[in-house]
């Protein structure tokens, strides 16, 4: 399913990568919610080649996040979007070298537009930055855009040694009262569900994530002595197929004061949709409470 998103505001925690940290699982500092617009405007200062094909300037990142050393270079490749038209645009590839705890995971691995959205010729890979890291998984934010439009694919690209990369399209909102909180919830639940899928972590192992996204009283409840307190406070005691949840999650809001509705199908071949109402701080920057509105709701 193609993810469509307005370019002006994106809240999935895009970041400017400066220096890393030795703390395990420490995320990169997030930029303001309008940062994707700023980043794309800055990097889309194109260079007109002799063949009249517009190319983005290359971008290089070399940073350490927790156990991960990331070397990333985004540069134009030989594929041209709109060949033969008045506006020809070179597509981009990302070349990624990853080390975890001193061991090379990938060396100059190429990630192209087809790897991200499954097709060539319409969208240009524009942006790929480290987003979050845990001992098991490195998360990248990858964005592909139809040139000269605000039609985007906004992707979470998950690298876990020993398994094929996981890729999820994340929808985001703008222009509504709850846009920041809706975007934050999309960010949080994709990271949380994916970590539960690949690691089955204790709450202590998820503390960095909870500290980043959750406020009291929820954070205190999650960081109590119970190693799996999140099963009660976040999962509401439900048994969930996390891959199915990741593929079907939908987040909507009519009124921020009434909470944001988070819906997903909890298991394969389930005829029902699990529904939660999620509340946050007044500024929409932290989650405070998760409530099951109904046990299940027909889709």
Residue by residue, DSSP assigns 23-90 as: STTPPPPPPPTTHHHHHHHHHT--EE-TTSEEEPPPEEEEEEETTEEEEEEEEEEEEEETTTSSSEEE
- Radius of gyration of the chain measured on its C-alpha atoms: 20
What's residue 148's pLDDT?
Answer: 87
Note down the domain range covering 256: 179-297
- Residue 151 falls inside a structural domain: yes
* End position of a domain, from candidates 106, 141, 169: 169
- Residue 237 falls inside a structural domain: yes
* End position of a domain, from candidates 146, 169, 192: 169
Total of domains in the chain: 2
On whether both 164 and 184 belong to a single domain, the answer is no
What's residue 189's pLDDT?
Answer: 96
What's residue 150's pLDDT?
Answer: 82
Along the 299 residues of the chain, how does pLDDT read in single tens digits? Answer: 334 343 323 333 333 232 232 223 333 444 333 334 334 444 444 555 446 899 999 999 999 999 999 999 999 999 999 998 888 999 999 999 999 999 999 999 999 999 999 999 999 999 999 999 999 999 999 999 999 888 889 899 999 999 999 999 886 665 567 788 988 999 999 999 999 999 889 999 999 999 999 999 999 999 887 788 999 899 988 889 999 999 999 998 877 788 999 999 999 888 789 999 999 998 889 999 999 886 665 55
What's residue 173's pLDDT?
Answer: 64
- Residue 131 falls inside a structural domain: yes
* End position of a domain, from candidates 118, 151, 169: 169
On whether both 50 and 106 belong to a single domain, the answer is yes
Cα end-to-end span (Å), the chain: 17
On whether both 130 and 165 belong to a single domain, the answer is yes
Alpha-carbon distance of 286 to 161, in angstroms, equals 30
What's residue 38's pLDDT?
Answer: 37
On whether both 136 and 188 belong to a single domain, the answer is no
On whether both 111 and 205 belong to a single domain, the answer is no
What's residue 176's pLDDT?
Answer: 67
On whether both 163 and 193 belong to a single domain, the answer is no
On whether both 45 and 165 belong to a single domain, the answer is yes
- Residue 9 falls inside a structural domain: no
């Amino acid at each position: 399913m193609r993810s469509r998103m307005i370019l002006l505001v994106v809240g999935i925690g895009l970041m400017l990568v400066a220096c890393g940290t030795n703390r395990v699982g420490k995320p990169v500092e997030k930029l303001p919610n309008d940062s994707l617009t700023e980043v794309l405007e800055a990097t889309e200062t194109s260079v007109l080649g002799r063949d009249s094909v517009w190319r983005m300037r290359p971008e290089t990142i070399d940073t350490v996040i927790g156990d991960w050393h990331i070397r990333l270079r985004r540069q134009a490749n030989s594929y041209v979007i709109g060949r033969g038209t008045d506006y020809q645009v070179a597509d981009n590839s990302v070349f990624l070298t990853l080390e975890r705890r001193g061991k090379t995971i990938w060396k100059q691995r190429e990630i192209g537009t087809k790897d991200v959205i499954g097709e060539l010729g319409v969208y240009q890979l524009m942006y790929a930055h480290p987003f979050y890291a845990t001992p098991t998984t490195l998360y990248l934010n990858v964005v592909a855009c139809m040139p000269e439009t605000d039609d985007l694919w906004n992707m979470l690209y998950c690298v876990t040694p020993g398994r094929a990369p996981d890729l999820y399209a994340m929808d985001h909102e703008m222009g509504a009262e709850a846009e920041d909180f809706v975007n934050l919830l999309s960010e949080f639940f994709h990271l949380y569900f994916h970590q539960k899928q690949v690691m089955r972590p204790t709450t202590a192992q998820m503390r960095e994530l909870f500290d980043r996204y959750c406020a009291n009283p929820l954070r205190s409840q999650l960081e109590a002595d119970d190693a799996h307190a999140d099963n009660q406070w976040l999962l509401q005691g439900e048994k969930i197929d996390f891959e199915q949840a990741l593929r079907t999650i939908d987040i909507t809001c009519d009124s921020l004061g009434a909470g944001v509705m988070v819906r997903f199908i909890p298991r394969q071949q389930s005829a029902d949709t699990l529904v939660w109402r999620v509340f946050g701080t007044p500024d929409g920057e932290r989650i405070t409470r998760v409530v099951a509105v109904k046990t299940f709701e027909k889709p």
